Amino acid sequence: MSVIPDDRLADLTREELSRYSRHLLLPEVGLEGQKRLKASRVLIVGTGGLGAPLALYLAAAGVGTLGLVDYDLVESSNLQRQIIFGTRDLDRPKTAAAADRLRSLNPDIRIETHNLRLTSRNALQVLEGYDVVADGTDNYPTRYLVGDACVLLGKPNVYASIFQFEGQATVFDAGRGPCYRCLYPSPPPPGLVPSCGEGGVMGVLPGILGAIQAAEVIKLVVGGGRPLVGRMLLLDAWLMRSVEVRLDKNPDCPVCGKSPTLTGLVDYEQFCGLRDDREEEIPSVTAGELKRRLDGGERVQVIDIREPHERSLFKFSGAVPVPFGQLVRRKDEFDPGTDLVFICKIGQRSLYAIRALREAGYPGPMFNLKDGVNAWAREVDPELAVY
């Protein structure tokens, strides 16, 4: 059944009949399906790797109103995958640059830009006016925020997420299937799983997953096919293997279960442990301080926890390479009488490395290189590239 009620349908113009003829020729879509697309209001949260193909395909498909939420500016490292932007869009707000591109693709549709950070205070208001929400965000607090808000508002949440070569896609529709919290009751502690900003991502991967989201949005609007409700598609683009798994509703889910305990939005930063002040307990050194200590011949051992391919982008001379995933089992190689300084790209995984070694009982002094080797490139050796 379509999420668009019949009383909102309006006729297509002559131009629209031509533009959408390849949809109209499909008996499963046809004139009625295309009218539903025209009447539909779809919100895309995050105009990044997933949001880019999603917005392009939905605009091309004739979704009548597309909402875009983002607060970022276009950066050069976005262009490897965020194909809605061009080089000339650098430093522009993503929502504005995307809106221009979409209007040139399809001038007949309405684009509503929300150039803001989605929060517990504004989310219900922003999401309320749309029929379907597509989540293309890049962090856990916003994932839980969008997930909960969709349950509370009774809206389907067309979901995809990506990491390196791997993607997950499903439709969370709590009225007839599980929600995000049913699948993942709690988020990983910060730093446990590296971000795409640290771990990288194959540029075409969000293209594939975003296109899957677009297909699911179109099916919900047209009201046909078999939506990805209660099942999740997992794709490994490197092995090019896809697997489908079954997702069940959790009867004890705090937001969509039988007796929900969560009836409003909460503080998602706190829920995701981002207000955790454990980081303060870990001593850090700045790039400048480390340089002075090394130049002064102090007893300091730098441990580079990056993977070999990443180290080759930026060689830190004198550092001992021990990849993050081998630290605990190789902890006896370190000298507890020496100050160890852990380095990574941005100084986030190195924090977790120190925590993991502490938990494994390593007794010696450990320091974190604040803001990672990128800070070293900015502050100490400008010949090196920030990556």
Whole-angstrom distance, CA of residue 263 vs CA of residue 164: 35
Q: Cα angle vertex 165, ends 88, 203, to 5°?
A: 10
Of 150, 182, 196, 253, the catalytic one is 196
- 142 contacts another protein (rule: CB under 8 A): yes
**Stretch near another protein under the rule CB under 8 A, chosen from 9-17, 139-147, 287-295, 313-321:** 139-147
Whole-angstrom distance, CA of residue 273 vs CA of residue 276: 5
Is 253 in the active site?
no
Nearer to another protein, 315 or 358 (CB): 358
Question: How many other C-beta atoms can be found within 10 angstroms of the C-beta atom of residue 71?
Answer: 13
Contact pattern from residue 247 through residue 266 relative to another protein, giving x for each residue in contact according to CB under 8 A and a dash for the rest? xx-x----------------
162 φ/ψ sector (left φ>0, alpha ψ -120 to 50, else beta)? beta
Whole-angstrom distance, CA of residue 245 vs CA of residue 251: 19
Which residue in 162, 217, 344, 366 binds another protein (CB under 8 A)? 162
**Stretch near another protein under the rule CB under 8 A, chosen from 95-103, 141-149, 213-221, 295-303:** 141-149
- 324 contacts another protein (rule: CB under 8 A): yes
- 35 exposed, middle or buried (CB, 10 Å; 0-12, 13-18, 19+)? buried
- 141 contacts another protein (rule: CB under 8 A): yes
Nearer to another protein, 222 or 303 (CB): 303
Whole-angstrom distance, CA of residue 348 vs CA of residue 196: 13
- 328 contacts another protein (rule: CB under 8 A): yes
Nearer to another protein, 297 or 325 (CB): 325
Closest CA to 316 of 333, 324, 304: 304
Closest CA to 324 of 204, 198, 172, 238: 198
**Stretch near another protein under the rule CB under 8 A, chosen from 17-25, 34-42, 234-242, 285-293:** 234-242
H or E segment at 145?
helix 140-153
Report the nearest approach of another protein to the CB of residue 15 (Å): 37
| 12, 23 Cβ separation under 8 angstroms | no
Size of interface with another protein, in residues (CB under 8 A): 69
- 359 contacts another protein (rule: CB under 8 A): yes
Whole-angstrom distance, CA of residue 323 vs CA of residue 224: 48
Is 344 in the active site?
yes
Of residues 95-124, those binding another protein (CB under 8 A):
117-120, 123
| 178, 250 Cβ separation under 8 angstroms | yes
- Point out which residues bind another protein (CB under 8 A): 48-50, 72, 117-120, 123, 137-143, 145, 161-166, 168, 183-188, 190-199, 201, 206, 232, 234, 236, 238-239, 243-248, 250, 268-269, 272, 274, 307, 323-329, 348, 356, 359
**Active centre residues (catalytic):** 196, 344
